[in-house]
Amino acid sequence: MSTPSALATIEATLADIEARNPILNAFTAVTADRARARAADLDASRAAGRAKLPLEGMPFAVKNLIDIAGLPTLAGSKINRSRPPAEEDATLVTRLEAAGAILVGALNMGEYAYDFTGENVHDGPSRNPHDTTRMTGGSSGGSGATVGGALVPLALGSDTNGSIRVPASFCGVFGLKATFGRLSRAGSFPFVASLDHLGPLARTVDDLALAYDAMQGPDPADPVCVDRPIEPVTDLLARGTDGLRIAILGGYFHQGATQQALDAVASVASALGATRLMELPEPARARAAAFVITTTEGAALHLDRLRTRAGDFDPAVRDRLIAGALLPASLVTRAQKFRRWYREAVLKLFDDVDILLAPATPCSAPLIGETELDLGGEVVPLRPNIGIYTQPISFIGLPVAAVPVRGTSLPIGVQLIAAPWREDLVLRAAWQLEQSGFRSV
Amino acid sequence: MQDSELDALIDAGTHALGIRIDPSWRQEIRASLAVTLRFAALVEAHNLPDEAEPAPVFRA
């Protein structure tokens, strides 16, 4: 059977987006002309004898805080609509297209990425493809909706406290938050410079790994991006978990979790033959410190807009940012001191283990509009607590793959966590799980 | 902190920063500030030596 041309793939993708995006509300812009032109170019050069590229003809879309030349970078806000169009694509967009992928649009997100729900007061909520009355999770809500709904096989999101892993969990797809500093953030609208990551969501581990490999590499335009050689993982996937030591995170990572979340971890652990329990040191304090750094750095970023355009923010974002602006700086420095202590304490665990398992979210997707969450019998505000299991991990930049687990009605994700720079291990484990039936829903 | 103490911090802080708030925003700002201060206190309660370096390290 012959492979369809890139143009045929793109036409089918664009038709699917036109038909189903009104329901999912995943896209805020569709770059149809650009995608068709790129596809035609790829088909022409391939016909002329060019070797096949790793992501040849694969449609992808990006969270709308990632620059697309010719479009204003909204970052989910009303305020940014008055920004001039981006002059260039973000580094990761350029790298994916160099590997043969084709950009088809920009994706809905929670305002300024300060969100775990996927709701947006300006563009409306992105909707969960498995039950459109439910949240996608956020803030990369459109990324979860479009990959979960199979409109595209690959999307980019950002993850400051869990914003790739939460929508991957709620929408039943794979997600990768690489080590802090591994993937360039150049050409993206920031949120929390100390914690921001960009990364992929995909329907298969192969696509996740291919995209990750294509995006690696130093980038002088992002001072956080490390000067580290590219370490490809795609050819390593089939090694699976052979020889790896795997443990389940207990304590904090069990408290408050629904039975579905606990069952999901247990099923992944069983598939990987993991029985050992470990605990992170001080995860609740780590989550608290991540919260403090997030709200204060976010406030610093938006201070001028809070002074001049406060009424144009999503109120739920604005009020938290104003509160963050009022926190004494001495407390923020304490949080950054704790961050270093916590990193050193957690890294010691990896002397004795290669992969740690934890729920990605305490529950599957809540109904859109819900504001409270039952966390182990305690009713708490939903918005900040969806990320209780993701925040202590991204706080110190560990690489994580989110793996989907089918529920009886809705999917939920499990985090596979490794030591810094060991994305290969979490992707190998994710690949092995996919082979044994843990597939995108 | 009591609501009145949080309100005093909101009033002084927003004045110092030049942020004007609508009275209808105050309740949510106060609630967020209370949570943030509680989390900051939890972090601060973890004793660290004077020599502990903050996480970001600037290199010239």
Name the band, by pLDDT with cuts 50, 70 and 90, for residue A195: very high
Nearest CA in chain A to B54: A337
The domain segmentation of chain A, as residue ranges, is 6-285+329-435
pTM for this model (two decimals) = 0.97
Contacts of A306 in chain B (CB under 8 A): 17, 19
Name the band, by pLDDT with cuts 50, 70 and 90, for residue A213: very high
**Percent residues over pLDDT 90 in chain B:** 87
pLDDT in tens, A326-352: 999 999 999 999 999 999 999 999 999
Name the band, by pLDDT with cuts 50, 70 and 90, for residue A409: confident
Cβ contact, residue pair A341, B42, below 8 Å? no
- State yes or no: pLDDT of B39 exceeds 80: yes
Cβ contact, residue pair A340, B43, below 8 Å? no
DSSP strand E in A52-181: where?
A: 59-63, 102-107, 154-159, 174-177
Cβ contact, residue pair B33, A331, below 8 Å? no
Cβ contact, residue pair B39, A291, below 8 Å? yes
pLDDT in tens, A5-17: 999 999 999 999 9
Nearest CA in chain A to B18: A307
* Amino acid letter for position A417: I
Cβ contact, residue pair A341, B46, below 8 Å? yes
**Cβ-proximal residues to B8 (8 Å cutoff; 6+ apart), any chain:** none
pLDDT at A100: 98
Cβ contact, residue pair A326, B9, below 8 Å? yes
- State yes or no: pLDDT of A271 exceeds 70: yes
- Comparing CA positions, the residue from A148, A127, A151 lying closest to residue A119 is A127
pLDDT at A1: 58
Smallest Cβ–Cβ distance between B48 and the set A318, A319, A341 belongs to: A341
Sheet bearing A27-30, strands edge to edge:
A27-30, A102-107, A59-63, A154-159, A197-202, A174-177, A400-405, A412-417, A355-359, A246-249, A276-278
Alpha carbon of A336: minimum distance to chain B alpha carbons (Å): 5
How far is residue A91's CA from residue A184's CA, in Å, rounded to a whole number? 7
Contacts of A323 in chain B (CB under 8 A): 29-30, 32-33, 35-36
Q: What is the mean pLDDT of residues A367-382?
A: 93
Between A and B, how many residue pairs show a Cβ–Cβ distance under 8 A?
106
Cβ contact, residue pair A326, B28, below 8 Å? no
- State yes or no: pLDDT of A314 exceeds 80: yes
Q: What is the mean pLDDT of residues A192-208?
A: 98
Name the band, by pLDDT with cuts 50, 70 and 90, for residue A254: very high
pLDDT in tens, A148-183: 999 999 999 999 999 999 999 999 999 999 999 999
pLDDT at B19: 98
Q: What is the mean pLDDT of residues A365-381?
A: 94
Cβ contact, residue pair B28, A327, below 8 Å? no
Assign 3-class secondary structure to B1-57.
Answer: CCHHHHHHHHHHHHHHHCCCCCHHHHHHHHHHHHHHHHHHHHHHCCCCCCCCCCCCC
**The dihedral formed by the CA atoms of A36, A17, A126 and A115, expressed in degrees to the nearest 10:** -20
Alpha carbon of A257: minimum distance to chain B alpha carbons (Å): 21
pLDDT in tens, A81-114: 999 999 999 999 999 999 999 999 999 999 999 9
Contact A155, A107 (CB under 8 A): yes
- State yes or no: pLDDT of A60 exceeds 90: yes
Cβ contact, residue pair B39, A337, below 8 Å? no
* Amino acid letter for position A145: A
Contacts of B56 in chain A (CB under 8 A): 194, 336
Which residues of A are designated catalytic?
63, 139, 163
- State yes or no: pLDDT of B30 exceeds 70: yes
A289 and chain B: CB distance < 8 Å anywhere? yes
> Residue A71, Cα to own-chain centre: how many angstroms?
22
Contacts of A315 in chain B (CB under 8 A): 25, 28
pLDDT at A216: 98
pLDDT at B57: 72
A95: which 2 tokens?
């790298």
A303 and chain B: CB distance < 8 Å anywhere? yes
A310 and chain B: CB distance < 8 Å anywhere? yes
pLDDT in tens, A14-51: 999 999 999 999 999 999 999 999 999 999 999 999 99
H or E stretch including A98?
A: helix A91-98
Q: What is the mean pLDDT of residues A431-441?
A: 97
Cβ contact, residue pair A323, B56, below 8 Å? no
Name the band, by pLDDT with cuts 50, 70 and 90, for residue A407: confident
Interface of B with A (CB under 8 A): 9-10, 13-14, 17-22, 25, 28-30, 32-33, 35-37, 39-40, 42-44, 46, 48, 52-56
Alpha carbon of B4: minimum distance to chain A alpha carbons (Å): 15
Taking all residues of chain A, what is their mean pLDDT, rounded to a whole number? Answer: 97
A83: which 2 tokens?
């920004």
How far is residue B28's CA from residue B30's CA, in Å, rounded to a whole number? 5
**CATH class as words, domain A6-285+329-435:** alpha beta
Nearest CA in chain A to B22: A311
